[in-house]
Structure 1
Amino acid sequence: MKTAVSERRGLAPEALVDELKVRARVRLNRARREGSAGATRLRDVLHEVARELGFADWEHARRVLSGLAVPGDDLGGFWHVPRTGILLHIWFSEYAEARAVLEQQGQGFLLPYRRQCFIVQAPFIEALGLSPDDPAWVEIGRDLVAAYGTPVWRALAWQRLHAPPGDL
């Protein structure tokens, strides 16, 4: 039987992008069956799916979810839920400052948002459809910015993609 850690390690780097492609194809095929696709192409639906997940367009989503972004790149709003405005967030324009605050607090979760980052507490992680008690958080020091592109980051991103629809 696989453990949670071995399952995390086994997620292929292209799995997140492939999931978005599948979603787009399913959506386009459904629209075609229903006769509502019109002149819509797969490319159009890929952009639509990407924007719904907090990215500017398909290429932006592909780059970020493939782990190809570099420090300073726009990482999109994938790790943010707009309806969480009532929850406490501490925003930072510089990662180093955010990391220092996270270490000083000894609690919280450091997440990326576009070219910035923010620290949140467990209720925000739950609003993302994730468990704040997942051992993956301890493994990455509760820092999704530093963990970007790693197998554990991919596993948490996969969970985020598969969160109940109301949580995305």
Structure 2
Amino acid sequence: MNALVTELKTRARLALNAARRGDSSLLGQLQARLGPDPLPVTDWRLRHCLTLVAKNAGFASWDQARKVLGGGAQIGDDLGTFWHAPRCTGLLSHWFPSYLQARTFLADNDTLVLLPYRRHFVLADREYLHAIGVPPAAEQWRHTRRDLVAAYGTPHWVALAQHRLHATRRPGPSSRGKEGDIDKPA
């Protein structure tokens, strides 16, 4: 297990504690994400909060988040929307259904970076990186050769993923690490 998975587990534990204390904003989030049948607070378990933080980070389930962030996924697996945010939708980027096509395009464009999106690939610019909370000038980009698919699971990939994961935190006072902190939907 790496720091990314540990961070999500910590967020889930804090969310569960906050929900049990009656944090009304969190209660609404949990109910909205967990389905139409409301659960009494006393019935909530850590697994519910693990699902919530995984979905907020761009994954369909806790198992998918653990697999992808833990370095166990393969090209062709659904890698979730972790490297995307709604505010990126209006930005110009290049999308490819195959990794080979994306790599070929990347070779001719030294200002773009290659990111996974579900089972597809996106080539994004500095604005896109700013929008997802990853510094475009981070030293790790040089080590990844601007390709987060090829660098998947490496320490440099993990460092860039930590920037992205920290950008998914809810803004405001709770983002300073107070109990009840939970991620904001990416």
| Mapping for residues 1-168 of structure 1, pairs under 5 Å | 13-34=1-22, 37-163=41-167, 165=170, 168=186
Q: Distance in 2 between matches of 1:27 and 1:120?
A: 32
Q: Deviations over 1:110-144 (max 9, x none)?
A: 00000100101100001111110111111111111
SS class of match (1:142): coil
Q: Distance in 2 between matches of 1:113 and 1:25?
A: 28
SS class of match (1:129): coil
Greater relative contact order (CA < 8 Å, ≥ 6 in sequence)? 2
SS class of match (1:105): coil
Cα offset for 1:165? 3.5
Residue identity opposite 1:30 in structure 2? A
**Equivalent residue, structure 2, for 1:6:** none
SS class of match (2:43): coil
Q: Distance in 2 between matches of 1:86 and 1:115?
A: 21
Contact 2:88 2:132 in 1 (8 A): no
Cα offset for 1:83? 1.9
Cα offset for 1:38? 3.5
Which one is further off, 110-119 or 133-142?
133-142
Cα offset for 1:40? 1.1
Q: Distance in 1 between matches of 2:88 and 2:99?
A: 22
Q: Distance in 1 between matches of 2:91 and 2:98?
A: 21
Q: Distance in 2 between matches of 1:165 and 1:145?
A: 27
* TM-score (norm: length of structure 2): 0.79
Q: Deviations over 1:40-78 (max 9, x none)?
A: 111011011101111010000000000001121111000
Q: Distance in 2 between matches of 1:39 and 1:26?
A: 16
* TM-score (norm: length of structure 1): 0.88
Q: Distance in 2 between matches of 1:161 and 1:106?
A: 25
* Aligned structure 1 segments of 4 or more residues deviating by more than 6 angstroms: none
Percent identical residues = 49
Alignment length, in residue pairs?
Answer: 156
SS class of match (2:91): coil
**Ranges in structure 1 where 5+ consecutive residues have no aligned partner:** 1-12
